[in-house]
A and B are shown apart, each in its own frame.
Chain A
Amino acid sequence: GAGVSQSPRYKVAKRGQDVALRCDPISGHVSLFWYQQALGQGPEFLTYFQNEAQLDKSGLPSDRFFAERPEGSVSTLKIQRTQQEDSAVYLCASSSGTEGWGSLGEQYFGPGTRLTVT
């Protein structure tokens, strides 16, 4: 079956531009996560949705970052007035929403969007 897809795969933005990154999770997955991965580092958590509700946005680095998932499926991460320090790979992950006994807690990751701010 189809995995998590992200678009675009690569994005070059001039400093100060707004960008929108899209994530299509696995169909039926309740949970959706966004992570940011700087070059040579491990991914860092940004935000989490359960269906359409954004339950945790503690990792968003500034108010220039905004994420939404209006219908509980596709999600968009928007970055306003991009800065050079925003250059990174943005990863989206989804999971089934299972919990408790028997849950593996696996997250399925997309290939990421590489954002370069010039």
Chain B
Amino acid sequence: DAKTTQPPSMDCAEGRAANLPCNHSTISGNEYVYWYRQIHSQGPQYIIHGLKNNETNEMASLIITEDRKSSTLILPHATLRDTAVYYCIVRVTTDSWGKLQFGAGTQVVVTP
């Protein structure tokens, strides 16, 4: 699976959109981009994933560039409960047996 690069930390004001970047320049054509987050003292939680097209669900939006070398996770209206470490993961399969390879992630702090 391809490697990802994320900024180590970022701050966001409550109520504003949080845009979390991820670089995955070595991604292959059949690899998916997954996002998980980990709130302090909890296990990671699935947010969203995509292959080529932009995706949206009740938690977030995922924007993947046309060349697929980078992506952005968007939390449209950040709340204090969105403070967490966010992990961008590239994965060759959507099959549920595939292991996840986490990096260091981005520590997001949402401030009042």
Q: Does A pair with B?
A: yes
Write out the residue numbers on chain B whose beta carbons fall within 8 Å of the beta carbon of A35. Answer: 100, 102
User: Is B103's CB under 8 angstroms from A42's CB?
Assistant: yes
Write out the residue numbers on chain B whose beta carbons fall within 8 Å of the beta carbon of A40. Answer: 104
CA distance A66 to B95 in the complex (A): 25
User: Is A110's CB under 8 angstroms from B97's CB?
Assistant: no
CA distance A40 to B38 in the complex (A): 12
B102's contact among A44, A95, A104, A106, by CB below 8 Å, is which?
A44
User: Is B95's CB under 8 angstroms from A43's CB?
Assistant: no
Minimum Cβ distance to chain B for residue A87 (Å): 16
CA distance A101 to B55 in the complex (A): 16
User: Is A97's CB under 8 angstroms from B44's CB?
Assistant: no
Beyond known contacts A35-B102, A105-B96: 14 more, CB 8 A cutoff: A31-B96, A33-B100, A42-B103, A43-B44, A93-B44, A99-B93, A99-B95, A100-B95, A104-B46, A104-B49, A107-B44, A107-B46, A108-B46, A111-B41
State whether the Cβ of B43 lies closer than 8 Å to any Cβ in chain A: yes
CA distance A104 to B42 in the complex (A): 21
Write out the residue numbers on chain A whose beta carbons fall within 8 Å of the beta carbon of B94. Answer: 99-100, 103-105
Q: How many residues of A contact B (CB 8 A)?
A: 34
State whether the Cβ of A50 lies closer than 8 Å to any Cβ in chain B: yes
User: Is A45's CB under 8 angstroms from B100's CB?
Assistant: yes
User: Is B99's CB under 8 angstroms from A106's CB?
Assistant: no
Write out the residue numbers on chain A whose beta carbons fall within 8 Å of the beta carbon of B101. Answer: 45
Interface residues in B2-50 (C-beta closer than 8 Å to A): 32, 34, 41-46, 49
CA distance A83 to B44 in the complex (A): 26
